Structure 1
Amino acid sequence: MAPLVAFLLSLNLLELIHGASGVTIISSDKDVEVNEFDKATLPCEYVLERGTQARLEWKRIAGEHISFVYFGEQIVEKYRERATMLGHSIELQRVTRADTATYRCEVTAKQDVKIFAEISFKLVVLVPPATPTCKVPSSAMSGSTVELVCKESEGSPPSVYTWYKDNVVLMDVSAKASTANNVSYTLNRSAGTLRFNPVRKSNSGTYYCEAHNKVGRSERCSLKFMQIKSRSAKSNAATRTNTPPAGEDFKHTKSFVI
């Protein structure tokens, strides 16, 4: 048993010695944010346990789509005109919103105990929002459900939205709070929706919206007026079926002589 115990102890000792050994990336994995058309540097510095040879690859990940940026010791053709290797790091020139994605540096060192290491960066190209479009019905009947929509697709990161009624900002109100405070709307700033359930005559007015993100604020959309009409008693009565009063006998209006 003594040789076996000695062997196990030696394995434990080797594990302690080499537990942190192998190829190691020493760069920070913080996200990178740059303004559109500026340059972005994605750092990837590493140290090897043994030797000086390692295989380096850079990949771009957007959703389920993965493509190479650096492979086979060269920048792939798509990026050659605007990408430069700075040691093991990569610098992208004139970035656009289309470059927003996750970029992963992968290092393989076959001579090391731990032969593989990787680091990922989320590159966010900052773009101010465009002037949004706002969809506001010109009229609606009181008591119905009405939804106003504000949307723009240029901003990066994605915009949040602010709605105004008669030049007064509408504050966030959750569905629960709207019921408790007798407020007839709920506002979703991320989706840009302003929902009235039910809409009331007092909700008539001029509406517009703005989009904003960490880069800036958009121009407001065109002003739209929404008129809420009351349901009249006459229109309600027209929807009901007339029936004779209960207990009233049917009366002939004509006599027939045989």
Structure 2
Amino acid sequence: MKRMTLLALPLLVTFLHSPACLSVTVSSSKPKVEIHEHTDAVLSCEFRTEKDQNPRIEWKKRGKGVTFVYFNHKFTGPYAGRAKMDGATLTIHSVTLKDSGEYRCEVTATEDHVNLGEAIVNLNVLVPPHVPSCDVPSSVFVGSGLELLCKDKLSVPPATYRWYKDNKAMTAAGEAPYSMDSSKGTLKFKSVSKIDGGMYRCESSNSVGAPKSCVAQQLKVVDYPLNMTVLIAGAAGFVALFLFCCICVCVCRRRGCCKKAKKTKGSKAYSPPPPPPPPPSRNFKHYKQTQSFMI
């Protein structure tokens, strides 16, 4: 046992001093950061080098492309004036939804055998509910279908929705004449009636802040006007008559009632010959006998 220990000790010393061990190491104590909007976000980055005492530190953000946040000892673009560095740890002041994304801390130590190390930190900026946009028509005809829309595009995490009628929460339970989708913010009626009229508003909420509601809007359910009723009835009657005529024509053709009579060969209608042309007119001269001839 002692002999094996004595043999392994030189190998361990050789491994610790081998060039493969001379490399920069980079890590983050908090690789996922969730922070409320308009507060400071701290993106931690710790590194260790074997030889290089002055490594190069860079921060990049990945989106549609890769953009620099901290490069050549200064902040770039929208981060200039609103961020600071403490060692390799990045702090962004007053974050907004645009700051959400994947950040990469890169440390380059040229004197180390493996001279590049990196750590990835994901930043998710939480946004409380905003006043949603509500689509409620001012009037609708009795018996027609209806869909009310509600949307809050800015809240993170995505908002859930609830509809109110005359300041009372609506529930699509039992035999309710409507259906609701709390994730999409839709309220659907298959066929509205007079009792469906009233003041409608929508409320958006998430786990970050207080719910927000749009201004209530009046929905009126009205009857079809008389001229509209007459027009619809006339159009329906015309369509019914047209279909009836088409059916009659089809039945007639199937039974052979609509076939044309065939002409028989050789049965030509008699036509009298044309009258003969009149004889040509002649001019005759009349002679008067004045003398008699005797033989």
TM-score, normalised via structure 1 length: 0.68
How many residues align? The count is: 223
The residue number in structure 1 matching 2:233 is: 237
Query: Is 2:26–2:117's contact at 8 Å kept on the other side of the alignment?
Result: no
TM-score, normalised via structure 2 length: 0.61
Separation (CA, whole Å) in 1 of partners of 2:146 and 2:212: 24
Larger deviation: 88-97 or 49-58?
49-58
> Pairwise mapping of residues 183-222 of structure 1 onto structure 2 (< 5 A)?
183-196=176-189, 198-201=190-193, 202-222=195-215
User: What percent identity do the matched residue pairs reach?
Assistant: 35
Deviations 1:70-98 (A, max 9, x none): 11233225423121101100111233343
Uncovered stretches (5+) of structure 1, i.e. residues with no partner:
1-9, 248-258
Q: What is the DSSP-based 3-state SS (H/G/I as helix, E as strand, rest coil) of the residue aligned with 1:98?
A: helix
Query: Is 1:146–1:199's contact at 8 Å kept on the other side of the alignment?
Result: yes
The residue number in structure 2 matching 1:138 is: 138
More relative contact order, 1 or 2 (CA 8 Å, 6+ apart): 1
The residue number in structure 1 matching 2:265 is: none
Deviations 1:101-134 (A, max 9, x none): 332222344524484333122231x443332231
The residue number in structure 2 matching 1:252 is: none
Separation (CA, whole Å) in 2 of partners of 1:189 and 1:212: 10
Distance change (3 Å), C-alpha of 1:165 and 1:30:
farther
Structure showing greater Rg: 2
Query: Is 2:127–2:157's contact at 8 Å kept on the other side of the alignment?
Result: yes
Separation (CA, whole Å) in 2 of partners of 1:50 and 1:182: 75
Query: Is 1:25–1:119's contact at 8 Å kept on the other side of the alignment?
Result: no
Q: What is the DSSP-based 3-state SS (H/G/I as helix, E as strand, rest coil) of the residue aligned with 2:129?
A: coil
Distance change (3 Å), C-alpha of 1:20 and 1:131:
farther
Tell me which amino acid in the other structure corresponds to 2:34: E
Separation (CA, whole Å) in 2 of partners of 1:20 and 1:116: 13
Uncovered stretches (5+) of structure 2, i.e. residues with no partner:
1-10, 249-295
The residue number in structure 1 matching 2:129 is: 129
Query: Is 1:208–1:222's contact at 8 Å kept on the other side of the alignment?
Result: yes
